Amino acid sequence: MSDDPFRALGLPPVADLSDDDVRAAWRRIAAATHPDRDDGGDPARFGAAAAAYAMLRTAYGRREALADLGFPAGHSRPARRRWRDRAGAISLGVRGGARRLALRAAAAAVVCAGAFLAAGWAPASIGLLAGALTWLVVSGRHDFTHR
């Protein structure tokens, strides 16, 4: 493989490439050079492109490749997306993982209490409780992992 994975995929060596940019470059080269093509493709170039894609497919890998090429850390650094923007959750002015998790737990408790008051203790209530706890765990794990 070439020393420059960006060159192998035909991409400029910048950190602000998106995952979609890298994936599109990989698919373009893979379609043109795959060994299973009728004309035999180009196995050497396909292998180099596959290795380059394996390195560049994540933002971390792109930063590592740029560091290996000698680019400074701030070279065209990508804008950092915060998970709060992607989650679409209502923040209600609550900041911090513990407070946000407490707000989620309170919301789950209110929903479960309202359902138990309306329907009483029944098999469906146990399912509702399990669903609320699952929601709490799945949505609450982001409060501490994406810092």
pLDDT tens digits, the chain, 147 residues: what are they?
Answer: 457 899 999 998 887 888 899 999 999 999 999 988 888 888 999 999 999 999 998 888 888 888 888 876 555 544 444 444 444 454 444 456 677 778 888 888 888 788 788 877 777 777 878 888 887 777 776 665 544
pLDDT score of 85: 43
Which residues, other chains included, contact 8 with Cβ-Cβ below 8 Å and sequence gap of 6+?
Answer: 1, 2, 48, 49, 51, 52
User: Residue 75: inside a domain, yes or no?
Assistant: no
What is the extent of the structural domain holding 59?
5-69
Whether 18 is covered by a domain: the verdict is: yes
* pLDDT computed for residue 133 by the predictor: 81
64 and 102 inside one domain: no
pLDDT (0 to 100) of residue 108: 81
Res 72: pLDDT: 67
Distance between CA atoms of 88 and 9, rounded to whole angstroms? 34
**Residue 78 maps to a domain:** no
Residues 130 and 95 reside in one and the same domain: yes
> What is the C-alpha to C-alpha distance for residues 44 and 50, in angstroms, rounded to an integer?
10
Taking the whole predicted model, whether its pTM rises above 0.85 is answered as: no
